[in-house]
Amino acid sequence: MADIATHDTDHATDHGHHSSTGLSNNKLAMWLFLGSECLLFGGLISTYMLYRGRVQNGPHSSQIYDIPFTSVSSFVLLMSSLTMVLAVSSAQRKDDAKTNLWLVITALLGATFIGGQVYEFTTFYREGLGFTTSLFGSSFYALTGFHGVHVSVGVIMLLSLMGIIKKGKITGDKAEVVELIGLYWHFVDIVWIIIFTLVYLIPS
């Protein structure tokens, strides 16, 4: 992840010093990507909001949602944002050991969240809500499933990052790479902040 160096071969990455805005190419790209993801999740959330009450077959949300369970899950994901930002902070202080520690905790919390989602999905399925059961079912699983895939990709990226740091094979500014993965991770968290309220806490 680098741009063209015009002089120094060591400066294979853009620290922002050589750019017209003074900002990093990679960071600009990540924020643009996150801006576009707002429209992606917005579409899935809107579809859910439209269809949440259309339950021709199978259970209604009020019959299967387990708010206490999901609340714990949400709290886990929220705390993973804290551990993520602590990882970024450690990376900026060039503390590889601490960075990896916080990264692994973040990945574990993320994996716990995914575990919770898997448990929730299988429970719902057993209770009669499948992907094809009703509009509520299709839109619920599409939205939360997409979110879950994003979290899973995030966990893979966190673990890969740790591996690459350990092997010393980062091809760019290490603190920036951690920061960028952090931005992605936080975004996935804020999408869940919206989902938790709109999907779970506000009854249809």
The verdict on 28 binding other proteins (CB under 8 A) reads yes
CA distances from 83 to 76, 87, 107, 145, 173 (A): 11, 6, 9, 24, 20
Q: Which of residues 90-109 bind other proteins (CB under 8 A)?
A: 92, 94, 96
Query: Minimum distance from CB of 145 to other proteins (Å)?
Result: 10
The two structure tokens encoding residue 72: 């714990």
Query: Minimum distance from CB of 115 to other proteins (Å)?
Result: 19
Closer CB to other proteins, 117 or 136, in the complex: 136
Binding mask 171-190 for other proteins (x = CB under 8 A): x-xx----x--xx--xx-xx
Query: In the block, which residue shows the tokens 């714990």?
Result: 72
- Which of these segments, 53-61, 105-113, 121-129, binds other proteins (CB under 8 A)? 53-61
Angle between helices 67-92 and 96-126 (to 10 degrees): 160
- Rounded Cα–Cα distance for residues 130 and 81 (Å): 31
The verdict on 32 binding other proteins (CB under 8 A) reads yes
